[in-house]
Amino acid sequence: MKDMAETLRVWRLSPVAQTVDPAWQGRRIWTRVDVVAGTVGEAILAAVRHEQALTANTDQNSQDHQQGRSGFEDERLYRVDRLPEAAPAGALPGDVVFAE
């Protein structure tokens, strides 16, 4: 069985839709989010959780909350790429190592 550190990778979520694309529907547009995860699906979930944690104290009536869906879950808005480097030492699954 592989060591967990060997299977964790850094995944980058970056926008693919133009900022004027109506698919954004008022959602925040992140320039780049790098997360530590074993799979692309886990990377998306980590980015969604990160976004939810940051917006938990914002207006509960915003359009994002009404939709109940993060832009990270929409492949028309974001792409996910596995970076060539391994996860940083001590990184845990779901860690966000960069976000802007």
pLDDT digits (tens, 9 = 90+) for 68-92: 789 999 999 999 999 999 999 999 9
* pTM of the predicted structure, to 2 decimals: 0.84
What pLDDT was estimated at residue 1?
42
What is the DSSP track for the chain?
---HHHH-EEEEEEE-S-TT-GGGTT----S-EEEEESSHHHHHHHHHHHHHHHHTTS-TTSHHHHHT--GGG-TTTEEEEEEEEEPPTT--TT-EEEE-
Can you name the residues that pair with 86 across neighbouring β-strands? 9
Q: What is the pLDDT of residue 62?
A: 54
* C-alpha span between 74 and 83 (Å, rounded): 20
Which two tokens mark 26?
Answer: 């008022």
pLDDT in tens, 9-60: 999 999 999 999 999 999 999 999 999 999 999 999 999 999 999 988 665 5
Residue 97 burial (CB count, 10 A): 15
Q: Where are the domains of the chain?
A: 4-99
